[in-house]
A and B are shown apart, each in its own frame.
Chain A
């Protein structure tokens, strides 16, 4: 396992990055057109009332002060109130977040199960017709936008064949698995294309590596050579890639939530943008950034667990 000092160093690294992230979000939201006070106030509010709202929001303070207040509030978990939904942003997000996380994990699992065996098949017969066919299919997959894959699945599998529900989502874990299969699959197809490409290349490289030859020369069984020597080494770069493509994945879930009308944070983000609900936009953007950072961190930990060479420093 990676040492504690490594973890602490990695966590400390996040702080300056996150300070910048907060600045970006803060500035972005201040640049949004429209006066949030007007958006929040009743239609027939007087100037004095507007002034009061501005004061309550701290908008009459200088920008640096506003920023510090923003940081302080964020650290205490207070992201303001949503204009559109008239509720605390933190509550709304925490309510919607599990659905999105479930969807994202579901997609990753599907993508890995889809790409893993096929990458293996392709790598063990490089340039055979099987390899070419697999790569061709996934090449096409890479060129398909997630919303288009989603619509195709929706039309054919849900509306026409009625194998799966058209949208919504369930109450229990199993019901969720059933309800979210098409949205998860839409994201998974794209992600699996990325995984396949990388895993195939690294499998080809590892299968040819000296240490795998040496393992064969040692008379080890094919099963041990495969699991201990080939897969483990090939996985290192794939784990990195999976971690790095978390942004892609979140982008994909945002689209797929819209296509399938799933009440997650992605669809909420779009709704907030169309409603110009700036506290909500601010909170959601921050949430996405935190999600990505957490995954980056996890990736680093898993990577250094897989590869001892990364454990120093």
Chain B
């Protein structure tokens, strides 16, 4: 595959993020490992509370001081976990940028858009005021904001939701980051706008050679945008592989359930599938597989023995004790539809 030949920029190994007291920690991210290559878009999928957003924030170290991060986050070979704030700040926004879910609340309502872009340039570049302004216009242009020059002095509330998300992307791109962390960037937007933003991210990644981790709860978004996808549940990874493989041939019962809940090629008026039950609370995770309580094929050992990620094909890993049962359970019904 194309992906394999590119160099890996981010290598997350056994990431663990916990909150609360040392004695009774709430583990939000547990033993999560994945890699992202240059120019690649990795989808991180899961329900709310599955730990996907916390994973992103852990990479940038912005969950501190309240949360604790363990494991390794290798950024071009350098481990970010032990870095102090001052050194992390030189990577945040400059090499790794992040955009947030709510374009309404993520831009400072009291500052002009121009200032919010240029403060990024002040922090990470040597550009003078005139050059910063030129760059800001260039960035707004790049993300497709019409009449960019005249909008620098506008405030966030003078932009529509989709435009605000573009502004946020422009801010994130200010100092040419090599990795963009996108935390549900389209969830708060209309479907048509959603599409535009995703295509924008895609083209930016391609044109700038920028890696992207796209967090979402929507398999449809992944299918449309991502090269590879990692499925998270209860703070752990359950399946990771190329998008085509995972979508066409999911193995983990949770991924299968997620895919089943997207309406595809179904007859009209067929009730949509939804995974029974609700995601577990962080303080009530079983020692074994996090999904065991809701899993249709769980056996007696599932709740006690943690399944490890194991290779299933060349580029794919799955964490499940009952792969055959899962295929058998979901397979025939898929055919029946």
| Interface set of A (CB-CB < 8 Å, partner B) | 209-211, 213-222, 224, 228-229, 232-233, 236, 306-309
Which residues from A are CB-within-8-Å of B102?
Answer: 210
Give the docked Cα–Cα distance between A219 and B171 (Å).
12
Partner of A229, one of B90, B92, B108, B120: B108
Give the docked Cα–Cα distance between A98 and B120 (Å).
47
A308 in contact with B120 given A217-B92, A217-B93, A221-B89 (CB within 8 Å): no
Interface centre among A216, A232, A307 (most CB of B within 10 A): A216
Interface centre among A214, A221, A228 (most CB of B within 10 A): A214
A214 in contact with B106 given A219-B90, A219-B94, A221-B123 (CB within 8 Å): yes
B110 contacts A307, CB within 8 Å? yes
Q: How far is the CB of B105 from chain A (nearest CB, A)?
A: 4
A307 contacts B94, CB within 8 Å? no
Q: How far is the CB of A123 from chain B (nearest CB, A)?
A: 14
Partner of B100, one of A214, A219, A309: A214
Within 8 A of A (CB), among B262-293: none
A217 contacts B62, CB within 8 Å? yes
Q: How far is the CB of B237 from chain A (nearest CB, A)?
A: 23
- A-B contacts, 10 of them at CB < 8 A, read A213-B106, A214-B98, A214-B107, A216-B60, A218-B119, A218-B172, A219-B90, A219-B93, A221-B123, A308-B109
Q: How far is the CB of B210 from chain A (nearest CB, A)?
A: 16
B92 contacts A213, CB within 8 Å? no
Partner of B105, one of A209, A220, A222, A229: A209
Partner of B93, one of A209, A220, A307: A220
Give the docked Cα–Cα distance between A187 and B152 (Å).
44
| Interface set of B (CB-CB < 8 Å, partner A) | 57, 60, 62, 85, 88-94, 97-98, 100, 102, 105-111, 119-120, 123-124, 155, 157, 168, 171-172, 181
Which residues from A are CB-within-8-Å of B107?
Answer: 211, 214
Give the docked Cα–Cα distance between A218 and B172 (Å).
7
Give the docked Cα–Cα distance between A232 and B112 (Å).
13
Q: Look across to chain A and name the residue whose beta carbon is closest to the beta carbon of B108.
A: A211
Q: How far is the CB of B169 from chain A (nearest CB, A)?
A: 12
Give the docked Cα–Cα distance between A236 and B109 (Å).
11
Q: Look across to chain B and name the residue whose beta carbon is closest to the beta carbon of A213.
A: B62
Q: How far is the CB of A131 from chain B (nearest CB, A)?
A: 15
Which residues from B are CB-within-8-Å of A218?
Answer: 92-93, 97, 119-120, 123, 171-172
Q: Look across to chain B and name the residue whose beta carbon is closest to the beta carbon of A311.
A: B155
A219 in contact with B124 given A306-B110, A307-B110, A308-B157 (CB within 8 Å): yes
Q: Look across to chain B and name the residue whose beta carbon is closest to the beta carbon of A236.
A: B110
A219 in contact with B119 given A307-B109, A309-B157 (CB within 8 Å): no
Q: Look across to chain B and name the residue whose beta carbon is closest to the beta carbon of A309.
A: B157
Which residues from B are CB-within-8-Å of A214?
Answer: 98, 100, 106-107, 168, 171
Give the docked Cα–Cα distance between A145 and B57 (Å).
48
Give the docked Cα–Cα distance between A203 and B168 (Å).
24
Which residues from A are CB-within-8-Å of B181?
Answer: 217
